[in-house]
Structure 1
Amino acid sequence: MSIGNSPADDRPTIGRALQQARIDAGLTVDEVSTTTRVRIPIVHAIEQDDFTRCGGDVYARGHIRALARAVGLDPAELVERYDAEHGGRPEPTSAAPLFEAERIRPEPRRPNWTAAMVAAIVAVVGFVGFTLFSGDGKEAAKQPVARDTAPVKPSPSTAPSKPADPKPEPSDSAIAAAPADKVTVKMTAENGSSWISAKDHNGQLLHEGVLKEGDSKTFTDKQRIDVVLGNAGAVKLFVNGKEINDRGEVGQVQRLSYTKGDPQAG
């Protein structure tokens, strides 16, 4: 959704554009605040074009981007208008000092492994020579060396075992065989994006946010799942493996609840 089709003097303000887009999307301030994590008083202030409560230009730009995405507006256009009305962005800091510091950093000294190996070999040879010329070496030389020793066969316990077959990864088609003792809800955005939320039977939030076109979400609970569709006609809905056709129209907000016995007729 764009807000730049009319002349500059006739365009709504940033706050008014965000407020109107939220109303058109059928969203409340509480729902937008939960989705964007922008506190409710700040959402109200921005919709009144009061950016003093944001805590600075950096936070104001971030709040404008988050609110614009939640209601379907172009964030870049609104941030550009904010910069034009509030003095623009600050100049970036040069990174030259950082690169200079990296260039003069000394290389760490590495251990000389070749010298260490040579010293170890010399020590082993010296020990063997000392042993051969000592009394223990003579006694050891008199003992016969066993020959033709039969090879040791590996016991059954040491034989390599056959690796277990890897378990197959679950696929999206598994929803067609949804378990009968649970409720399974799958939502796919096919005709555009939609704001959605899902809660379990205890009221705990499973997911909340914008489902972009082409994306899917699947939720499972042992008793009940409550869903909210901000753009019901754009979402393809499956409950317990069966498609729900009467989910609503494009642009319509729907609040639905399903249990493990639904739907009675698919």
Structure 2
Amino acid sequence: MSIGNSPEDERPFPDESEEFRPSVGRALQKARIAAGLTVDDVSSATRVRIAIVHAMEADDFAPCGGAVYARGHIRTLARAVHLDPEPLIAQYDAEHGGRPAPTPAAPLFEAERIRPERRGPNWTAAMVAAIVAVIGFVGFTAFKGGDSGNDAKSQVAEGTTATPTKSASPTPTKDKPADPTSEASDSAIAAAPQDKVTVQVSAANGRSWISAKDHNGRMLFDGLLKKGESKTFQDSSKINLILGDAGAIQLYVNGKKIEDNFQKGSVERLTYTKGDPEAG
């Protein structure tokens, strides 16, 4: 009879690291304390309200206003206390039934997106549309190039170059759509075309996450505006906005300043059309 340990006694203990992993809120709290920061310090640095910071550290994410904003707040707080936000967001998703896994090129904040399985057909349609547009543009350019000198002004209005032999003065180009993601000056906004809706978002009073979509639901921008930065969006009929900290944002719609008194830290969902300024 053997008096030694049985083979079962010599097996390694199971890995208990997952069992003792702190919750998302507890991890944020421990990192804040280790960094020597108070809740007030974190709130001031991130523009996340004190009550929400306290709730998140207690693993109560309901005050965030939904999973999209909870992920954004986790990312913001993690960076403020010098933590890598990605493992915390993955842990939050696993515990709350969120996305299976983040995409490699995830934006600063996760917002409402087109489901990945639908992207294949959408990209195919977009490529076909692009090819048709290029063919149409080449044919249009060739047709306009064969017109008489009387069509020079029409060519300038369409954005083409007038015939060099024509001595007519160049006509300033108007109604040319701006790049939806380019930053435009106030004068460019003031000259926005009447047949489109143009919205300029400026982080005048601090940084804020914003999301912008066109009338088809296509994402125009999804990210963080730092203080002093601005973005301009344009669409044929409608722009949908989500402002993570509306109190930090100044809006210009179709060349006019929006005077809404948004509160600091408030989340606003807005829609603007060609007839605005009028909040949707």
* Same fold per superposition (TM over 0.5): no
TM-score range, shorter chain: 0.3 to 0.5
